Amino acid sequence: MNALAQKTEWDDESTRVFLKYGQAFVPYRETQYGIICRMLSQVRPRRVVELCCGQGKLSGLLLETLPEINLQAFDGSELMLESARKSLARFGGRLQTVLFDIHAKGWREFSPAVDAFVSSLALHHLTAEEKGGFYRDLFSSLSSGGVFINADLIWPPTPEGQEVAAQAWDDSVRRFSEESQDGQEAYQAFESLRWNLFRYPEDNSTDHPLPVAQELQLLSKAGFVDADVYWLFGGHAIMGCRKK
């Protein structure tokens, strides 16, 4: 078991790894971000909050694609926020970065209300017990007609599904590494770090993804309508819903 996988929470070492290899480790990242931007463009939000913005790749695309929005980018890592601020400085006052703890509740009240919450590869760090209340809090902070779009890991409920997801994720990282001509560095790091949750679930103690059916059920129980899956590949899904 590698040292990174044994950690009980995301830390600066995890951040540095993701800053270096995130483009390779996330399957079809540009496709996912494009779908999120397209879904948001349909509701024309003004105030957007990204939860766990990382280095700001999605935030930047949203600000560029939707020039009418102002965006608050939240993350639990000051290293990530520093990277986001540097890369997104051109957007000036349209971007605000906020250091937060995703498990805490104090940040979940917004005034005025938020038009859209988005998140990418973050909320699987919440346990099943935490998610019900978390989704209710997001629902309460949304304006009428507001949307929540979450790109995240989902857990295949059968061993067969887990193997399919694991292989698809492996293949995606290997293919990216080959096409980028990095000498397989990204794929070798992906494998040596045992990053593939579906291949090495025992080595990923910070991850708590749920089956997609359970995710949609929790969203509906929180009050959202039209909960749906927009995209799915290799255990990665984009889910969305709205508030009436």
Q: How far is CA 15 from the centre of its chain?
A: 14
Nearest Cα to 51, choosing from 33, 75, 22, 86? 75
Once rounded to an integer, what is the mean pLDDT over residues 75-84? 94
pLDDT over 60 (residue 89)? yes
CA dihedral 230, 232, 237, 239 (to 10 degrees): 20
Tokens of 47: 């105030």
Three-class SS state of 107? coil
CA dihedral 216, 226, 168, 34 (to 10 degrees): -140
Q: How confident is the model at residue 118 (pLDDT cuts 50, 70, 90)?
A: very high
Tokens of 193: 């770090």
Distance CA 166, CA 186 (A): 16
Once rounded to an integer, what is the mean pLDDT over residues 106-114? 96
The per-residue pLDDT for range 211-220, each reduced to its tens digit, is 999 999 999 9
Once rounded to an integer, what is the mean pLDDT over residues 89-94? 97
Nearest Cα to 100, choosing from 75, 80, 127? 75
DSSP code of residue 87:
H
Average pLDDT across the chain, whole number: 93
**Which pLDDT value is given to residue 1?**
35
Which phi and psi angles does 202 have, rounded to 5°? -70, -15
What predicted TM-score, i.e. pTM, was given to this entire model? 0.93
**Which pLDDT value is given to residue 52?**
97
Q: How confident is the model at residue 15 (pLDDT cuts 50, 70, 90)?
A: confident
For residue 62, CA distances in Å to 50, 72, 198, 222 come to 10, 11, 30, 26
What are the residues facing 51 on neighbouring strands?
A: 74, 119
pLDDT over 70 (residue 198)? yes
Distance CA 206, CA 166 (A): 18
Once rounded to an integer, what is the mean pLDDT over residues 22-51? 96
Tokens of 231: 């995209």
